[in-house]
Amino acid sequence: MTKIIIAIDGYSSCGKSTLAKQLAKALNYIYIDTGAMYRAIALYALRNKILTADKFDVERLIKSLPNINVSFSYNSVTNQSETYLGNENIEQEIRGIEVSNQVSKIAKIKEVRAKLVDIQRELGKQKGLVMDGRDIGTVVFPNAELKIFMTAAYKIRAKRRFDELVSKGDTTTTFEEVLQNINSRDNDDTSRTEHPLIKANDAIEIDNSAISQMEQLKIALDLAKSKLANQ
Ligand code: DC
């Protein structure tokens, strides 16, 4: 059966990964969270003091890139694909506020993007893939058969991210911090020179501020089915 590539781009915390996972499950496709790849490199830079509160040694990061091995492995217990740095499962650690606050500095670096885009394109060779990020429909897969651009009101996005952190046991991060983090990441994502977040001309926009996850999934699945019917 023909398989397609579904590219999902959009702002931070708009539910891209929720929709991407549900779509992948419904279509029996692979799901790739590209934000996790940038987060993994941010974690490496933080742990190795390449990136600290007052300095960022970009040259050292670029030199280290060939030694940074980011991959995904399917966990049959959680039914999720989880992110690895080398042999270490870093799925939980990359979601914390420290990585969230620093990751956009990493995502600005041309060499980091080039490395990760190569891996992402390799993963898409077989098609049958749902990938979410910021540049998937514009840079990674400009010929993706279906491109979705997601948006949601800023405070709704912050509330969702805050609730997610709380549900994972984070008792220290405040709602104000999350709001601040989303605001600054939106600015960083849209204003950077390398692969800024922009809506591809042929992307279909879904604003999920006022629709349920089920409604959103139905819209996206209908779009995917109609694309598949035309292959
Ligand atoms: O989707 P996320 O919040 O996990 O993404 C983490 C960071 O990585 C965010 O600051 C945007 C950046 N990113 C990117 O620049 N390009 C992508 N394809 C995915 C994420």
**pLDDT, tens digit, 9 for 90 and up, residues 34-73:** 999 999 999 999 999 999 989 999 999 999 999 999 999 9
Check whether 25 has a pLDDT greater than 90.
yes
Q: Where do the H-state alpha helices sit in the chain?
A: 16-27, 34-47, 58-64, 97-107, 110-123, 154-167, 175-191, 213-229
Q: Residue 75 in 3-state DSSP?
A: strand
Residue type, 56: F
35 CA distance to ligand 1 centroid (A)?
Answer: 4
227 CA distance to ligand 1 centroid (A)?
Answer: 26
Check whether 176 has a pLDDT greater than 90.
yes
Pocket of ligand 1 from Cβ distances under 6 Å: 12, 34-35, 38-39, 103-104, 107, 133-136, 185, 189
pLDDT band, very low/low/confident/very high, at 197 (cuts 50, 70, 90): very high
Tell which atom from ligand 1 comes closest to the C-alpha of 36: 4
The reported pLDDT for the residue numbered 82 is 94
What CATH number should be reported for the domain whose range is 5-225? 3.40.50.300
Check whether 81 has a pLDDT greater than 90.
no
Minimum CA distance residue for ligand 1 atom 7 = 35
pTM beyond 0.95: the answer is no
- Taking all residues of the chain, what is their mean pLDDT, rounded to a whole number? 94
Mean pLDDT, range 212-216, rounded to an integer: 95
The reported pLDDT for the residue numbered 122 is 96
Cα–Cα nearest to 36, from 70, 7, 64: 70
224 CA distance to ligand 1 centroid (A)?
Answer: 24
Give dist(CA 119, CA 207) in Å, integer. Answer: 29
Check whether 212 has a pLDDT greater than 90.
yes
* Contact call for residues 190 and 12 (beta carbons, < 8 A): no
133 CA distance to ligand 1 centroid (A)?
Answer: 6
- pLDDT, one tens digit per residue, over 113-165 is 999 999 999 999 989 999 999 999 999 999 999 999 999 999 999 999 899 88
